[in-house]
C-alpha cells in the first residue's frame, strides 16, 4: 500500500470514531432528557393533592411534556392505579374516623352507666352464666359484706344469704328471658334487719339474645322496702286499734239500749243514768271519728279553717271541763293554772280545742290512778304558751322522737290504755301546719311527760300580714 492510501484509511477510521462518539453523545443526551422529563412527571404525580388528581388536567400535562405514546400510556395507568387506591384510602379513613367516634361514644356511655350504677343507693349484683360474680356496686358490697370478694368469685362462696343465692341461680337457669320478684329480709353491717324487694332479670351473654344455648347470667336489684313494711304493719295495727276503739263504745251503747228496751230502767233516775252512759259512749265514738276525718283532711290539704282572734285561756278551760269526768274516774287531780293575762291567738276554735283535748286525754290515759295532770298557760315574748304536764309513766328518748308519728304507740304502754295512735299526730298537725306554732315534748321514764305548745300572738300575725 502506498502512503496515500494508508493516509486515507487513517482519516476514514478517525472520522468513523468521531461520528460514533457524536452519535453516542446525542443518544445519551436524548435519553437523559427523556428520563428527566419522565422523572419530572412522576414527581409531579407523586406531589399531587386530592384536588389535583383530575384526569383531564393530568392528560394536558402529559401532552405538554412531549413524551412518547408508550410513556404517556404507562403514566396514565399509574395515575389510574393511584386514583383508585386514593378512593379506597379515603373510604377507609372515613370508616376509621366513624369507628373511633363510635368507640369513644361507647366508652363514654359505659363510663356513664358505670357511674350511675356506682352511685345508686339500691344494691346491684350480677352473675354470669357460670354463677360467678361479675358486678357489684358499693351499696351491694356494704349490705352483703363483699369487701373481700373479687369478680369471678362463685356466688355461693361470696354471699351468705342462701335465699338470694338460690334466687339468682334459679333465674339464670331459665331457658328463656324472664324476671323474678321476691321479698327478702337481710341484715345490714349494723346488725339491723331490713326488708328488700329483689328484682332479678336474666342477662343474655351469647351471640343470639334469648337463645338457650348461649346461656344466661342474672342481675339482681334490691330496693329497701322496710318503710313500706312498717307502714303495712302500722296500718294493720291501726285497723285493729280503730276496730277496738269503735267496738268498745258501740258495745256500751248496744248494751244499755237493750236494757232500756227490756224495761230494766224501772225509774226515771235509772233511765237517765242509762241515757247518760249511751250519750257518753256516743261522744267517745264521735271524737274518734272526728280525729280520723280531721287528720285525713289536714294531710290532704282540704280542711276548712276559720281563724279568728280568740282567748286561749277560754279554749283551755273548755277543754279541761270536757276531760274532767275522765280524770275523776281515775281519781286523777287535774290542776288548771292559767295566766291571769289575756292571751290572744288567731285560731280555729274547734281545732285548738281538739288539740288541747287530745293532749289532756293522752296525759290522763298514761297517768296511773291518783296521779296529777297540770294545764298551764303563759305569755313569752311574742308567743303564747300552754303546757300539759303529767306524773305518768314517761317516755324514752326514742319514744319522744316517734310519738308524733301517725299510728305510733309506745309498746310498753299499750296494755295500759287503748288508742289509735292518732291523737298526738293530729294535735301536731293542728298546731304546726294549721296555726304555724310548735309542739314539742320532754319526758323521763317513770317521772312523767310535758307537752309544750307555742303559738304566735294575734299582734304578731297581724304585723306579719
The terminus-to-terminus CA distance of the chain in angstroms comes to 152
Nearest 10 degrees: Cα torsion 235, 237, 241, 242 = 10
What contacts 7, CB < 8 A, 6 or more positions away?
none
Q: What is the DSSP secondary structure assignment for residue 404, as one 8-state letter?
A: T
Reference 426, options 277, 295, 262, 238; nearest CA is: 295
- Mean of the pLDDT values across residues 58-81? 70
Is 79 found in the same domain as 128? no
What contacts 48, CB < 8 A, 6 or more positions away?
58
- Stretch (H or E) spanning 114: helix 69-119
Whole-model pTM: value is: 0.49
What integer pLDDT is reported at residue 375 of this predicted model? 93
What integer pLDDT is reported at residue 388 of this predicted model? 93
Is 281 found in the same domain as 394? no
pLDDT tens-digit map of 295-328: 777 777 777 788 889 999 999 999 999 989 889 8
Query: Can you point out the beta strands (E) in 122-263?
Result: 124-127, 133-136, 179-187, 193-204, 216-224
Is 83 found in the same domain as 145? no
pLDDT-derived band at 220 (thresholds 50, 70, 90) equals: very high
Q: Is 380 left (phi over 0), alpha (psi -120 to 50) or beta?
A: beta
Reference 426, options 323, 318, 354; nearest CA is: 354
Residue 106 domain flag:
no
- Mean of the pLDDT values across residues 132-145? 89
Residue 254 domain flag:
yes
Question: Residues 344, 312: contact at Cβ < 8 Å?
Answer: yes
What integer pLDDT is reported at residue 214 of this predicted model? 58
| Structural domain containing residue 58 | 3-88
Is 320 found in the same domain as 455? yes
- Mean of the pLDDT values across residues 416-420? 65
For residue 330, count other CB atoms closer than 10 A to its CB: 14
pLDDT tens-digit map of 334-356: 999 998 989 989 988 988 998 99
Is 459 found in the same domain as 388? yes
- Residue ending a domain, among 167, 190, 224, is 224
Is 254 found in the same domain as 199? no
Going from the C-alpha of 458 to that of each of 193, 206, 306, 382, 385, the distances in angstroms are 49, 74, 14, 9, 13
The yes-or-no verdict on residue 203 having pLDDT over 90 is no
The yes-or-no verdict on residue 421 having pLDDT over 80 is no
Least confident among 37-41, 117-121, 391-395, 424-428: 37-41
Phi and psi, residue 435, nearest 5°: -115, 10
Is 315 found in the same domain as 289? no
The yes-or-no verdict on residue 399 having pLDDT over 90 is no
Sign (positive or negative) of CA dihedral 147, 152, 158, 164: positive
What integer pLDDT is reported at residue 209 of this predicted model? 44
Number of structural domains, the chain? 4
Residue 61 domain flag:
yes
Residue 105 domain flag:
no
Is 446 found in the same domain as 346? yes
What integer pLDDT is reported at residue 334 of this predicted model? 92
Is 258 found in the same domain as 130? no
- Residue ending a domain, among 250, 276, 304, is 304
Q: DSSP 3-state helix, strand, coil percentages of the chain (rounded to 5)?
A: 55, 20, 25
Amino acid at each position: 500500500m502506498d502512503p496515500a492510501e494508508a493516509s486515507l484509511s487513517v482519516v476514514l477510521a478517525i472520522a468513523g470514531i468521531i461520528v460514533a462518539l457524536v452519535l453516542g453523545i446525542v443518544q445519551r443526551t436524548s435519553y437523559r432528557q427523556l428520563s428527566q422529563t419522565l422523572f419530572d412527571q412522576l414527581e409531579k404525580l407523586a406531589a399531587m393533592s386530592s384536588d389535583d388528581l383530575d384526569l383531564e388536567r393530568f392528560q394536558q400535562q402529559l401532552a405538554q411534556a412531549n413524551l412518547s405514546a408508550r410513556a404517556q400510556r404507562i403514566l396514565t395507568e399509574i395515575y389510574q392505579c393511584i386514583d383508585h387506591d386514593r378512593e379506597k384510602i379515603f373510604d377507609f379513613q372515613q370508616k376509621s374516623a366513624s369507628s373511633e367516634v363510635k368507640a369513644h361514644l361507647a366508652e363514654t356511655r359505659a363510663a356513664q352507666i358505670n357511674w350511675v350504677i356506682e352511685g345508686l343507693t339500691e344494691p346491684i349484683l350480677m352473675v354470669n352464666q357460670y354463677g360467678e360474680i361479675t358486678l357489684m356496686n358499693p351499696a351491694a358490697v356494704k349490705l352483703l359484706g363483699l369487701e373481700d370478694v373479687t369478680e369471678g368469685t362463685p356466688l355461693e362462696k361470696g354471699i351468705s344469704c342462701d335465699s338470694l343465692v338460690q334466687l339468682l341461680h334459679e333465674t339464670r337457669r331459665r331457658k328463656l328471658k324472664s324476671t323474678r320478684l321476691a321479698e327478702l329480709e337481710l341484715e345490714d353491717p349494723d346488725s339491723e334487719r331490713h326488708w328488700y324487694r329483689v328484682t332479678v332479670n336474666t342477662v343474655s351473654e351469647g351471640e343470639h339474645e334469648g337463645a338457650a344455648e348461649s346461656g344466661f347470667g342474672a342481675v339482681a336489684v334490691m330496693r329497701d322496702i322496710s318503710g313500706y313494711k312498717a307502714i303495712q304493719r302500722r296500718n294493720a295495727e291501726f285497723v285493729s286499734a280503730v276496730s277496738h276503739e269503735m267496738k268498745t263504745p258501740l258495745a256500751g251503747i248496744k248494751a244499755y239500749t237493750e236494757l232500756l228496751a227490756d224495761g230494766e230502767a224501772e225509774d226515771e233516775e235509772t233511765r237517765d243514768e242509762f241515757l247518760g252512759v249511751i250519750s257518753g259512749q256516743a261522744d267517745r265514738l264521735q271524737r274518734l271519728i272526728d280525729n280520723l276525718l280531721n287528720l285525713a283532711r289536714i294531710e290532704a290539704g282540704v280542711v276548712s279553717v276559720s281563724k279568728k282572734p280568740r282567748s286561749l285561756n277560754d279554749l283551755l278551760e273548755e277543754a279541761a271541763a270536757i276531760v274532767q269526768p275522765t280524770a275523776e274516774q281515775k281519781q286523777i287531780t287535774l290542776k288548771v293554772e292559767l295566766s291571769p293575762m289575756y292571751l290572744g291567738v288567731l285560731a280555729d276554735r274547734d281545732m285548738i280545742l281538739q288539740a288541747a283535748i287530745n293532749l289532756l286525754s293522752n296525759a290522763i290515759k298514761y297517768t296511773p290512778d291518783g296521779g296529777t295532770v297540770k294545764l298551764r298557760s303563759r305569755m313569752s315574748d311574742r308567743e303564747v304558751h300552754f303546757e300539759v304536764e303529767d306524773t305518768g309513766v314517761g317516755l324514752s328518748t326514742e319514744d319522744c322522737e316517734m310519738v308524733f308519728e301517725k299510728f305510733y304507740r309506745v309498746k310498753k304502754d299499750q296494755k295500759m290504755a287503748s288508742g289509735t295512735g292518732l291523737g298526738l299526730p293530729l294535735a301536731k298537725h293542728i298546731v304546726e301546719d294549721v296555726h304555724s306554732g310548735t309542739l314539742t315534748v320532754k319526758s323521763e321514764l317513770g317521772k312523767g311527760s310535758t307537752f309544750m305548745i307555742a303559738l304566735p300572738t294575734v299582734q304578731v300575725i297581724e304585723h306579719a300580714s
